[in-house]
């Protein structure tokens, strides 16, 4: 069985990242010939299971208790770890969000099982351990870029269960399987799972902010890398984005250098985007970056280096200095726009 | 009131300065060719510890890392910024540890250090970005965890109040000690080393503990204790698109913009 740990939005809906994982989980479960279950922990969940069935969830496990919303590590840990022990899923998938990245490792530590963070792809396959001369079938391939150069690692947990992975929002596609998909729902009695010690950390204030930066849904993204050179030069990218009606994205190198805010980071450990147009300015095109943008409709690369890897996936390449090309783009656009 | 604080630190390859010799021919990372630095968020955790020590001068800060002996460099750095004691756990039997085996070894070492009020660490290390070791150490020591911490607001006897920087805002939480806290990138920067401490620690040696010293169950260490296995490493072959080379001139750029406007991609 495959289990999805579902997160809730501020207004009590199932978060997109969890629905995306349900879609992925459904196709993996079908391939394995097994069921798909989803755990939802929250408060006043009403008939939240109805949001999940259309994604092909066979069984929703629902824990409804005031102690479960907003999210806190220990109460959710108590529920998820017990549910995993009771139901023994082969695979547990969670969002690589502030919640999933807080909860998943604690669960994996408790169950002494493997966990792979920020997967960019999940598949089913076999694994042969040559040293033990052992063959394992129906193993979850947890695929993610690996550190150093353009390499992708396929990671497996042959011996331990469940096989756990986290995935960022936007990496998997959210797709309704069948509006009338028939699933069932089990109500869990939260008080059976929660102990007094789970209240060790108390939330005394919460300031929820609408995300100021929303590059996920932008149809045009002007993205800058380390080659842009400075925060001041990044201003030009903001100007270009503004005239085109787009948003500004960045690489991790640009974020680390302080040229742009962390929320703008695109890539394996940032946001995944699929805009109509992606303008990569001073970006080399490391595999971790490409993982977040290579599904873009059209890609323009502006780079002084004709050999930069990003050029290989670009539809248009301009070999030149960002500081010269970007102002020219703005000027030409203002001249040509309808 | 004095506090016993353990800060988990890691020496990491500087991923910002990856040169062409960063990779071995077989696709593995050539760590020796990369400059090694103090993991940036671990420095932020150290700063939080130093703030506590400033307020409660009798507090003791022990920095702990798992790694090769050359990690002495970051131990010396931490001592020069005001930490009191530095320990490296280092042993060939730790080789091949994933986060589960790493957190197990660190938890054993923390138990050996003895009484503590809090364990601090960076949210994640830049060579993996997994953010797993902190919560896994917390689970192993049966401590509540506070991840993504940004600011320490209050520390009063056994009572701690911190803000957390999350995807969708800021949360203020309180807990009783002991706790494990992971500190995020937006937390205050670490203060610089003191000149006199730099001098004093120029040749300081970290205490080095081997696997036996931390009294582990040996089969939970290293490769054996690591459930995750790398099945394969693939070089990414870029599906080369037949891209258009746009001349870097006003005429070239103008032509591109006109094409994009015509194709309804912009405008
Ligand atoms: C665990 C892990 C996770 C990571 N996650 C991400 C992620 O989510 N997102 C991400 O982006 N990275 C990520 N990275 C980092 C990634 O490996 C690269 O280091 C990073 O993407 C490089 O950013 P860059 O292209 O801006 O910088 P560089 O690689 O330094 O490239 C700069 C480019 O600018 C060009 N240039 C220089 N000057 C100019 C100029 N004046 N005009 C035009 N071009 C110029 C250069 O030719 C070069 O191609 C991750 C790394 C690790 C280890």
Q: Which residues is A302 bridged to in the sheet?
A: A281, A318
d(Cα A118, Cα A288) in Å, to the nearest integer?
10
Number of domains in chain B: 1
Decide: residue A164, CB within 10 A, 0-12 exposed, 13-18 middle, 19+ buried.
buried
Same domain, yes or no: A187 and A226 = no
Residues A56-115: tens digit of each pLDDT: 999 999 999 999 999 999 999 999 999 999 999 999 999 999 999 999 999 999 999 999
Residues B190-233: tens digit of each pLDDT: 999 999 999 999 888 899 999 999 999 999 999 999 999 999 98
Contact B210, B82 (CB under 8 A): no
- Tell me how long chain B is: 267
d(Cα A104, Cα A17) in Å, to the nearest integer?
15
Pairing of β A121-129 and β B4-8: unpaired
Indicate if ligand 1 lies below 6 Å from the C-beta of A249: no
CATH code of residue B97: 3.40.50.620
The parent domain of residue A88 ranges over 2-199
B249 is a domain residue: no
d(Cα B48, Cα B155) in Å, to the nearest integer?
11
d(Cα B132, Cα B145) in Å, to the nearest integer?
12
B267 is a domain residue: no
Same domain, yes or no: A233 and A313 = yes
Number of domains in chain A: 2
d(Cα B126, Cα B12) in Å, to the nearest integer?
7
Residues A22-64: tens digit of each pLDDT: 999 999 999 999 999 999 999 999 999 999 999 999 999 999 9
Residue nearest to atom 1 of ligand 1 (CA): B128
Q: What is the ipTM of this complex?
A: 0.94
Q: How many CB pairs under 8 A join A and B?
A: 238
Element holding A119 (H helix, E strand): strand A115-119
B254 is a domain residue: no
d(Cα A115, Cα B173) in Å, to the nearest integer?
27
Give Cβ neighbours of residue A107 (< 8 Å, ≥ 6 apart): A77, A80, A81, A84, A92, A115, A164
- Which single residue is written with the structure tokens 């899923």? A89
CATH code of residue A98: 3.40.50.620
Same domain, yes or no: A297 and A255 = yes
A135 is a domain residue: yes
Same domain, yes or no: A99 and A190 = yes
Same domain, yes or no: A47 and A124 = yes
Same domain, yes or no: A248 and A174 = no
**pTM of the predicted protein model:** 0.94
Which residue from B238, B244, B257 is facing A315, i.e. has the nearest CB? B244
Write b or e for each residue in B16-41: b if 16 or more Cβ atoms lie within 10 A of its Cβ, otherwise e: eebeeebbeeebebbbeebebbbbbb
Does A333 reach chain B within 8 Å, measured CB to CB? yes
Chain A interface, mutation test: which of B167, B185, B219, B242, most A Cβ atoms within 10 Å? B167
Residues A267-280: tens digit of each pLDDT: 999 999 999 999 99
């Amino acid at each position: 069985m495959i289990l999805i740990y579902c997160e809730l939005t501020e207004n009590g809906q199932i978060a997109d990242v969890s629905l995306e994982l349900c879609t992925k989980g459904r196709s993996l479960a079908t391939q394995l010939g097994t069921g798909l279950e989803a755990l939802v922990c929250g408060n006043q969940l009403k008939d939240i299971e109805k949001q999940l069935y259309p994604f092909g969830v066979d069984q929703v496990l629902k824990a409804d208790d005031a102690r479960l919303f907003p999210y806190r590590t220990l109460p959710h840990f108590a529920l998820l770890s017990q549910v995993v022990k009771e139901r023994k899923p082969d695979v547990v998938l969670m969002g690589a969000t502030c919640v999933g990245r807080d909860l998943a490792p604690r669960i994996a530590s408790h169950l002494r099982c493997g966990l792979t963070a920020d997967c960019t792809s999940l598949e089913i396959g076999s694994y042969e351990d040559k040293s033990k001369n052992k063959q394992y079938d129906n193993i979850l391939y947890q695929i993610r870029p690996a550190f150093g150069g353009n390499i992708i690692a396929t990671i497996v947990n042959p011996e331990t269960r469940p096989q756990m992975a986290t995935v960022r929002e936007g990496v998997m596609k959210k797709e309704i399987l069948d509006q009338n998909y028939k699933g069932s729902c089990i109500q869990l009695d939260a008080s059976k799972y929660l102990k007094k010690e789970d209240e060790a950390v108390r939330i005394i204030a919460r300031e929820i902010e609408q995300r100021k930066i929303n590059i996920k849904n932008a149809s045009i993204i002007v993205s800058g890398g380390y080659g842009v050179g400075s925060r001041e030069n990044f201003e030009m990218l903001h100007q270009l984005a503004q005239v085109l009606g787009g948003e500004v994205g960045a690489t991790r190198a640009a974020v680390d250098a302080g040229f742009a805010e962390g929320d703008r980071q695109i890539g394996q450990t940032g946001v995944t985007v699929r805009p109509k147009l992606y303008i990569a300015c001073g970006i080399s095109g490391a595999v971790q970056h490409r993982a977040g943008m290579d599904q873009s409709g059209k890609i323009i690369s502006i780079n002084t280096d004709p050999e930069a890897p990003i050029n290989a996936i670009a539809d248009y390449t301009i070999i030149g200095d960002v500081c010269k090309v970007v102002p020219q783009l703005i000027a030409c656009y203002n001249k040509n726009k309808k | 009131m004095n506090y016993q604080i353990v800060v988990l630190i890691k020496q990491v390859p500087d991923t910002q300065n990856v040169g062409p010799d960063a990779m071995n021919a077989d696709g593995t990372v050539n760590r020796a060719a990369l400059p090694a630095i103090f993991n940036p968020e671990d420095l932020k955790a150290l700063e939080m510890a130093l703030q506590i020590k400033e307020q409660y001068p009798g507090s003791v800060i022990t920095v702990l890392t798992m790694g090769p002996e050359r990690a002495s460099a970051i131990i010396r750095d931490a001592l020069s910024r005001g930490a009191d004691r530095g320990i490296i756990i280092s042993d060939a039997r730790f080789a091949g540890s994933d986060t589960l085996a790493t957190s197990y070894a660190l938890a054993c070492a923390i138990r050996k250090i003895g009484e503590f009020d809090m364990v601090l660490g960076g949210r994640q290390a830049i060579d993996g970005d997994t953010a797993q070791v902190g919560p896994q150490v917390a689970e192993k020591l049966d401590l509540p965890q506070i991840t993504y911490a940004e600011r320490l607001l209050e520390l009063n006897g056994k009572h701690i109040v911190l803000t957390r920087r999350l995807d969708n805002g800021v949360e203020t939480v309180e807990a009783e000690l002991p706790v494990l806290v992971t500190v995020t990138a937006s937390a205050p920067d670490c203060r610089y080393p003191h000149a006199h401490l730099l001098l004093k620690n120029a040749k300081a040696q970290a205490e080095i503990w081997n696997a036996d010293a931390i009294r582990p169950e040996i089969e939970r260490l290293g490769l054996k204790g690591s459930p995750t296995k790398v099945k394969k490493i693939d070089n990414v072959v870029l599906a080369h698109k037949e891209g258009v080379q746009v001349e870097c001139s006003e005429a070239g750029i103008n032509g591109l913009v006109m094409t994009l406007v015509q194709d309804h991609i912009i405008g």
